[in-house]
Amino acid sequence: MTAQNLPYEPEFEQAYKELASTLENSTLFQKKPEYRKALQVVSVPERIVQFRVVWEDDKGQVQINRGFRVQFNSALGPYKGGLRFHPSVNLSILKFLGFEQIFKNALTGLNMGGGKGGSDFDPKGKSDNEIRRFCVAFMTELCKHIGADTDVPAGDIGVTGREIGFMFGQYKKIRNQWEGVLTGKGGSWGGSLIRPEATGYGVVYYTEHMIKYASGGKESFAGKRVAISGSGNVAQYAALKVIELGGSVISLSDSQGALVLNGEEGSFTPEEINAIAAIKVDRKQISELASTEAFASKFKYIPGARPWTNITGRIDVALPSATQNEVSGDEAKALIAAGCKFIAEGSNMGSTQDAIDVFEAHREANAGASAIWYAPGKAANAGGVAVSGLEMAQNSSRVSWTSEEVDNRLKGIMEDCFKNGLSTAQEYVTPKEGSLPSLVAGSNIAGFTKVAEAMKDHGDWW
């Protein structure tokens, strides 16, 4: 994949190889060999925009950051994907995220292409005024390249409703038009109900279908011990939905460490999750809560750790919901040893290729009920962008739907995502006797073929 004249882009290469390997190991290229050319074409972005962002901090000093927008594929609709503000942001990470976004958006069934963007700006430690000034400078350049029918960014790591508001205001001032150019907007000015909850709720709805299918309808989240990583938007709402459905949440984490339930009884409560959400708004770490009497008596805080190997007792379900490559091969083995039967990614590319190989080998070697079943982020966490698509639809028609209507549509989309990946795996990948179908292969093939067919119709390959 990597040409000699191109820089090494490890995250993008990983995402590409993960998709390409599942296509190669299926019967897709045997049945339709012309799709090899489609894979070559779809792996090159249609356009990459890179720009400088010059802004002034509270001391009056000029600061410089890099801004990016990778407009990867518009075969199915306007480019759609989040903006990430984090010091780790580089072109490799944004290309990987944009590449995954193409197929994730295809799986929702909505008319959205794939893209991703952001900056190496770090919101942590910045005042609200510094963040506002940065967002204004960032959007002053980005606004030249986006629009409701061209490219519709959303939030991602480091970009909350506050940042979306600052950027929307600057877009409106420069372009002199109000349009649904960003999703994740405030509820009183074009945002959709359930949008903040959508990714977390969606990954739980998807996993619920996994549990029901694997158990023949006999089991649900009720009584399940669920390990969740992260403590941001996705993790918070996934945890709240798990509790609502009768499960026990036994871990959350952040970039500094993991907060894990002591013993085999109990769960995070909604009140405890809300307390964590409150400190995250103030850009503080979990460790500040972990040392308080209320938390220290119930949880143990492990600095520099992820939850997967630090939980006492069994793990039934794992929901990685922090960032990319947060489950290693060794951690995958530890999850299996802890009895985990379901892992679904709330984060994008949450598992390393080594981890995926461990999960898939275990699935193939064991009968359905005794195997771990892995769902990739492009399918399991599609709920966020799905509701972004629903927000776009509401903006276009100048209407607002109720929470119940949006939630019901989200549930339907996640069910379709699951069934599409399942049936496609059954068509193109023959599982061993008694083993569950490969959701990673099925989701990859289903998303890829939909995009490839649209590109062929447009003359992008033939």
Could you tell me if 147 and 162 are in contact, meaning their C-beta atoms sit under 8 angstroms apart? no
Is 412 annotated to bind a ligand? Reply is no
Token pair, residue 71, equals 């407009």
The one-letter code for the residue type at 20 is: A
Q: What is the reported pTM?
A: 0.94
Question: Domain ranges in the chain?
Answer: 44-175, 197-380
Rg (CA), the chain: 21
Is 65 annotated to bind a ligand? Reply is no
Residue 116 among the catalytic residues: yes
What is the percentage of the chain residues whose pLDDT exceeds 70? Answer: 99
Is 199 annotated to bind a ligand? Reply is yes
| Torsion angle of C-alpha atoms 43, 100, 103, 46, degrees rounded to 10 | -40
Residue 408 has, within 13 A of its CA and on its CB side, a CA count of 5
Q: Of all helices (H) and strands (E), which one includes residue 455?
A: helix 439-457
Could you tell me if 75 and 455 are in contact, meaning their C-beta atoms sit under 8 angstroms apart? yes
Could you tell me if 345 and 320 are in contact, meaning their C-beta atoms sit under 8 angstroms apart? yes
CA distance 352 to 28: 24
> What are 356-396's pLDDT values in tens digits?
999 999 999 998 889 999 999 999 999 999 999 999 999 99
The answer to whether the 44-175 and 197-380 domains have the same CATH topology is yes
Could you tell me if 182 and 152 are in contact, meaning their C-beta atoms sit under 8 angstroms apart? yes
Residue 395 DSSP SS3: helix
Is 80 annotated to bind a ligand? Reply is yes
Residue 139 DSSP SS3: helix
Mean residue pLDDT across the chain: 96
The residue behind tokens 């026990």 is 248
pLDDT at 7: 87
Find residue 298's DSSP bridge partners: none
The angle formed by the CA atoms of residues 225, 232 and 262, to the nearest 5 degrees, is: 35
**pLDDT at position 1 over 80:** no
Tell me, what DSSP letter sits at residue 405? H
Where in 138-238 does DSSP place strands (E)? Answer: 151-155, 225-228
The phi, psi pair for 101, rounded to 5°, reads -65, -35
Residue 9 DSSP SS3: coil
- What's domain 197-380's superfamily in CATH? NAD(P)-binding Rossmann-like Domain (3.40.50.720)
Is 50 annotated to bind a ligand? Reply is no
> What are 167-197's pLDDT values in tens digits?
999 999 999 999 999 999 999 999 999 999 9
Catalytic hit among 17, 31, 95, 116: 116
CA terminus-to-terminus distance, the chain: 20
Is 101 annotated to bind a ligand? Reply is yes
Token pair, residue 349, equals 């590319």
CA distance 173 to 17: 42
What is the band of 284 on the pLDDT scale with cuts at 50, 70, 90? confident
Is 233 annotated to bind a ligand? Reply is yes
**pLDDT at position 349 over 70:** yes
What is the band of 429 on the pLDDT scale with cuts at 50, 70, 90? very high
Name which of 264, 270, 266 is nearest 243 in CA terms.
270
- CATH class held by domain 44-175: alpha beta
> What are 81-122's pLDDT values in tens digits?
999 999 999 999 999 999 999 999 999 999 999 999 999 999
> What are 123-158's pLDDT values in tens digits?
989 999 999 999 999 999 999 999 999 999 999 999
